[in-house]
């Protein structure tokens, strides 16, 4: 049975059945609101204010249609009655989802969207009569609402305002917190754009007890109780009567959202009904059209095209604008998301990065885990991960290159402990802090962890060293050096080059394990991540970053690549092997994570992109593409029927125990550092349309099977249409270029703001 497929050039995904292997959800959002919508319309709703709150307790949104003449009841969105429709499909688009079904001559469309700038979600239900006789129907729309727990809740319907609302005051502990809670949108409302026939506020009364998925007695009877709910699970049920002539249609717009007061909810209804819902949908389409058109790619892989042109852009937009829907996070997530976001919204990315940078101290250090809402530090925020400064360098240099505006480095940004300096000076301080904070082997100290947060054992006493952090610092320096030289700061360039050489020597003297680079040294100076370890012998990241940082050369480069290839699976490379099976005091928390999940031996998609990036550095275009292809949920070697995920976002990881029947299953987590790195790696390093501070360079690294691809991209205010031909079926090589009909020498393209360039590139053998 077909589960689904892309349509509209990849901008939509059509699900052909309500019975998918897992909940196949789309996610719709703006800066203050988020909702998940499954193939049957189910999913959580969240508001950001600043604490993130899921306010539809069970996540259900049920629609029942009742025939007034026969008493028949069915669910046009399948759940909960599991009505078997004659036709059924769900379309997930960038800014909306739509369920379409046909049952007994009644066609129903249920379209849901989140307006661009409203704290609500809109459900547009259109019912069409395809029979030869008038149909008298009732639509019952039932939405789960928030239960106030120990604070209690009350739910009622205001007949004058035509608004149903549920209210519960937020739980808080300290007396002083009450004033803050007053300003939150603590009231959940539900209303429609036509008069309500009847309503229900008590979940227990509506379902006649527990929700068992059976026909609710009130729907069977054709009328709700019009009753209030107090101190119990609330529900929002609105009944609307429909009388539809043959061939006719009726549409009802239902809105659920959050407000501070009943008056605000009532005013929202008046305002939205006056402005109209068609304009909201048009604004959504305009927004996503603008995002989608920032650049486009046309390769022989239609799935890759769909993700690059649409779905990765949406995912990075979500992660950057909502801070991955969290107020508790590591700055490396914020920075890497903004790095990817810079490819579609440079100003938004720069603003996000500068907020992070302002948390740096004048010493050059920056705390890795932070609370973004002003809450007291807790959990990982109480620990000291030492890799924060390196991400400032990596991500800011990437943003400057994407902008083509090296002058951005002169922007002034404050320090956490007072004063301010240019971005450039901030980055130099970050280098110096990490370069001086080294251990007995000359490697960077890791503190309570590096990129791999749960390795919290080796450095907990302050002496443990991270090989990955050391490689990452050298890589960061290599990205900063060209900007130093472009500024004419030769003294800084010499200083950075000396540090890079010292780090390289330390890595190759202390961290080579004979066939790969080990992971680090613990507080006692004992190596970990070596062939001598029973578990956790081989780590992907220290091999990929050895290549990215140019620490691995000659025979060691070859051995490094062989080690990387030994980690490969049909779902992509394992993050480490063997996975930990039990507590290991030296390693810490990573060892008690379930084997095959997250950092303990999964196919961790973020690290897979480091691998694809390293493949490009090593000239392995075919391997880079294969890793990217495997990371996509459309991977034919681990397809949606096996990984169980709707293919419109990249998951955090795939289950990594290859001998398990669960191997390759998606985590279904749609928040991951993979997204920014995939956008960057594919555009700049595989397709080779590479942004640098000096201009747009062309350096493809592609699979030999690709004869042609095309890229449209804006850079430095100029517009480029770049066609790349590969007649000799090469991975890499030299390029012959024609720009606007004339031969062009060199690898950098001309760039005049406002100009348009037609570029033809032919890849040929070197020499």
| E strands present in 135-217 | 135-144, 154-158, 163-167, 187-192, 198-202
- What are phi and psi for residue 472, nearest 5 degrees? -65, -40
> Hey, how many other C-beta atoms are within 10 angstroms of the C-beta on 134?
12
How do 120-129 and 135-144 pair as beta strands? unpaired
Tens-digit pLDDT profile for residues 110-168? 999 999 999 999 999 999 999 999 999 999 999 999 888 888 789 999 999 999 999 88
User: What per-residue confidence (pLDDT) applies to 54?
Assistant: 82
User: For the chain, which domains are there?
Assistant: 4-289 (2.70.98.40), 331-437 (no CATH), 687-764 (2.60.420.10)
Question: Count of alpha carbons within 13 Å of 57, Cβ hemisphere only?
Answer: 16
User: What per-residue confidence (pLDDT) applies to 179?
Assistant: 77
Question: Count of alpha carbons within 13 Å of 607, Cβ hemisphere only?
Answer: 28
Cβ neighbours of residue 123 under 8 Å, at least 6 residues apart?
A: 61, 110, 111, 112, 141, 253, 254, 255, 256
Cβ neighbours of residue 67 under 8 Å, at least 6 residues apart?
A: 73, 104, 135, 136, 137
Burial 469-484 (b: 16+ CB within 10 A, else e): bbbbbbbbbbbbbbbb
Mean pLDDT confidence for 23-32: 97
**What is the rounded distance in angstroms from the CA atom of residue 211 to the CA atom of residue 60?**
11
User: What per-residue confidence (pLDDT) applies to 148?
Assistant: 81
Tokens standing for 300?
């022989």
For the cut 80, the answer to whether the pLDDT of residue 463 exceeds it is: yes
For the cut 90, the answer to whether the pLDDT of residue 645 exceeds it is: yes
Tokens standing for 89?
């499909």
Cα–chain center distance at 608: 15
- Identify whether the C-beta of residue 190 lies closer than 8 Å to the C-beta of residue 256: yes
**What is the rounded distance in angstroms from the CA atom of residue 653 to the CA atom of residue 569?**
13
Tokens standing for 159?
């007949």
Q: Is the dihedral of CA 356, 357, 360, 366 positive or negative?
A: positive
**What is the rounded distance in angstroms from the CA atom of residue 295 to the CA atom of residue 343?**
8
DSSP letter assigned to residue 171: P
Tens-digit pLDDT profile for residues 465-482? 999 999 999 999 999 999
For the cut 70, the answer to whether the pLDDT of residue 1 exceeds it is: no
- What are phi and psi for residue 600, nearest 5 degrees? -95, 70
Give the per-residue SS3 of 289-343: HHHHCCEEEECCCHHHHHHHHHHHHHHHHHHHHCHHHCCEEEHHHHHHHHHHHCC
User: What per-residue confidence (pLDDT) applies to 725?
Assistant: 99
* Consecutive H or E run containing 621: helix 621-631
What mean pLDDT is reported for the chain? 96
User: What per-residue confidence (pLDDT) applies to 182?
Assistant: 76
**What is the rounded distance in angstroms from the CA atom of residue 618 to the CA atom of residue 209?**
64
User: What per-residue confidence (pLDDT) applies to 50?
Assistant: 66
Scanning 322-457, the segments in alpha helix (DSSP H) are 331-341, 346-357, 388-403, 423-436
How do 520-521 and 465-466 pair as beta strands? antiparallel
- Which residue is catalytic, options 156, 453, 513, 615? 453
**What is the rounded distance in angstroms from the CA atom of residue 286 to the CA atom of residue 113?**
14
**What is the rounded distance in angstroms from the CA atom of residue 645 to the CA atom of residue 315?**
15
Burial 658-677 (b: 16+ CB within 10 A, else e): eeeeebbbbbbebbbbbbbb
Tens-digit pLDDT profile for residues 587-601? 999 999 999 999 999
Cβ neighbours of residue 210 under 8 Å, at least 6 residues apart?
A: none
Cβ neighbours of residue 605 under 8 Å, at least 6 residues apart?
A: 572, 631, 650, 651, 652, 653, 654, 672, 674
Band (pLDDT 50/70/90 cuts) for residue 53 is confident
CA Rg value for the chain: 28
- Identify whether the C-beta of residue 511 lies closer than 8 Å to the C-beta of residue 443: yes
- Identify whether the C-beta of residue 630 lies closer than 8 Å to the C-beta of residue 642: no
> Hey, how many other C-beta atoms are within 10 angstroms of the C-beta on 507?
24
Cβ neighbours of residue 569 under 8 Å, at least 6 residues apart?
A: 603, 656, 658, 663, 664
Residue with tokens 């970053």: 545
Tens-digit pLDDT profile for residues 427-453? 999 999 999 999 999 999 999 999 999
User: What per-residue confidence (pLDDT) applies to 149?
Assistant: 80
Q: Which of 265, 270, 275 is nearest to 158 (CA)?
A: 265
* Consecutive H or E run containing 87: strand 87-93
On the question of a cis peptide bond just before residue 101, with omega within 30 degrees of 0, the verdict is no
- What are phi and psi for residue 421, nearest 5 degrees? -155, 170
Burial 410-443 (b: 16+ CB within 10 A, else e): eeebebeeeeebebbbbbbbbbbbbbebbbebbb
Question: Hey, which residues does 696 pair with through a beta bridge?
Answer: 691
Tens-digit pLDDT profile for residues 537-584? 999 999 999 999 999 999 999 999 999 999 999 999 999 999 999 999
User: What per-residue confidence (pLDDT) applies to 152?
Assistant: 79
Percent of the chain with pLDDT over 70: 99
Tens-digit pLDDT profile for residues 338-388? 999 999 999 999 999 999 999 999 999 999 999 998 888 989 999 999 999
Tokens standing for 606?
């973020």
Mean pLDDT confidence for 486-505: 98
Burial 576-609 (b: 16+ CB within 10 A, else e): bbebbeeebebbbbbbebebbbbbbbbbbbbbbb
**CA dist 457 → 97, 460, 463, 465, 520 (Å):** 45, 6, 11, 11, 11
Please count the residues of the chain: 767
453 part of the active site: yes
């Amino acid at each position: 049975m077909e589960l689904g497929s892309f349509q509209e050039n990849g901008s939509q995904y059509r699900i052909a059945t309500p019975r998918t292997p897992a909940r196949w959800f789309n996610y719709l959002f703006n800066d203050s609101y988020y909702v998940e919508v499954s193939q049957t319309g189910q999913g959580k709703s969240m508001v950001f204010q600043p604490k993130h709150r899921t306010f539809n307790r069970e996540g259900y949104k049920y629609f029942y249609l009742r025939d007034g003449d026969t008493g028949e009841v069915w669910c046009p969105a399948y759940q909960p009655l599991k009505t078997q429709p004659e036709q059924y499909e769900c379309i997930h688009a960038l800014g909306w989802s739509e369920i379409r079904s046909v049952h007994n001559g009644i066609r129903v469309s249920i379209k849901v969207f989140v307006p661009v700038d409203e704290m609500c979600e809109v459900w547009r239900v259109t019912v069409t009569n395809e029979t030869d006789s008038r149909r008298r129907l009732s639509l019952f729309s039932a939405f789960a609402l928030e239960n106030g727990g120990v604070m209690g809740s009350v739910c009622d319907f205001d007949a004058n305002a035509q608004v149903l609302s549920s209210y519960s005051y937020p739980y808080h502990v300290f007396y002083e917190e009450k004033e803050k809670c007053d300003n939150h949108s603590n009231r959940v409302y539900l209303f429609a754009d036509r008069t309500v026939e009847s309503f229900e506020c008590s979940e227990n009364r509506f379902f006649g007890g527990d929700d068992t998925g059976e026909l609710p007695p009130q729907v069977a009877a054709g009328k709700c109780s019009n009753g209030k709910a107090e101190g119990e699970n609330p529900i929002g049920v609105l009944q609307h009567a429909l009388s539809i002539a043959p061939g006719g249609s009726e549409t009802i717009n239902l809105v659920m959202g959050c407000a501070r007061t009943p008056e605000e909810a009532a005013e929202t209804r008046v305002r939205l009904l006056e402005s109209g819902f068609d304009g909201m949908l048009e604004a959504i389409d305009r927004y996503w059209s603008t995002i989608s058109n920032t650049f486009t790619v046309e390769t022989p892989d239609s799935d890759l095209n769909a993700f690059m042109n649409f779905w990765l852009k949406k995912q990075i937009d979500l992660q950057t604008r909502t801070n991955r829907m969290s107020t508790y996070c590591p700055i490396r997530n914020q920075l890497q998301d903004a790095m990817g976001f810079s490819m579609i919204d440079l100003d938004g990315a720069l603003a996000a990065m500068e907020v992070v940078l302002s948390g740096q101290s004048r010493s050059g250090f920056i705390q890795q885990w932070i609370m973004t809402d002003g809450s007291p530090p807790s959990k990982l925020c109480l620990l000291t991960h030492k890799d924060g400064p390196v991400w400032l360098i990596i991500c800011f240099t990437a943003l400057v290159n994407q902008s083509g505006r090296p002058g951005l480095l002169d922007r002034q940004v404050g320090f956490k402990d007072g004063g301010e300096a240019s971005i450039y000076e901030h980055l130099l301080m970050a280098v110096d802090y990490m370069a001086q904070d080294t251990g007995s082997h000359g490697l960077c100290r890791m503190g309570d962890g590096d990129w791999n947060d749960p390795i919290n054992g080796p450095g907990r006493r302050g002496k443990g060293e991270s090989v990955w952090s050391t490689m990452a610092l050298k890589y960061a320096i290599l990205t900063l050096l060209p900007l130093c030289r472009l500024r004419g700061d030769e003294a800084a360039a010499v200083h950075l080059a000396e540090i890079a050489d010292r780090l390289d020597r330390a890595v190759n003297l202390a961290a080579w394990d004979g066939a790969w680079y080990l992971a680090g040294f613990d507080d006692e100076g004992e190596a970990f991540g070596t062939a001598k370890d029973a578990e956790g012998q081989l780590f992907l990241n220290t091999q990929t970053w050895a290549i990215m940082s140019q620490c691995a050369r000659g025979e060691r480069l070859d051995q490094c690549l062989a080690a990387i290839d030994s980690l490969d699976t049909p779902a992509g490379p394992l993050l480490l092997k063997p996975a930990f099976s039990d507590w290991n005091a030296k390693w810490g928390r990573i060892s008690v994570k379930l084997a095959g999940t997250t950092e303990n031996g999964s196919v961790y998609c973020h690290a897979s992109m480091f691998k694809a990036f390293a493949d490009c550095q090593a000239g392995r275009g075919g391997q880079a593409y294969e890793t990217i292809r495997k990371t996509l949920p459309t991977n034919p070697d681990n397809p949606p029927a096996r990984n169980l995920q709707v293919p419109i976002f990249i998951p955090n990881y795939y289950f990594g125990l290859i001998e398990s029947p669960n191997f390759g299953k998606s985590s279904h987590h749609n928040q991951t550092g993979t997204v920014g790195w995939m956008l960057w790696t594919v555009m700049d390093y595989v397709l080779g349309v590479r942004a640098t501070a000096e201009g747009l360079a062309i350096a493809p690294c592609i699979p030999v099977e690709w004869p042609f691809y095309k890229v449209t991209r804006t850079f430095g205010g100029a517009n480029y249409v770049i066609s790349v031909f590969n007649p000799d079926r090469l991975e890499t090589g030299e390029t012959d270029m024609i720009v606007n009909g004339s031969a062009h020498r060199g690898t950098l393209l001309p760039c005049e703001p406002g100009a348009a360039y037609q570029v033809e590139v032919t890849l040929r053998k070197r020499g």
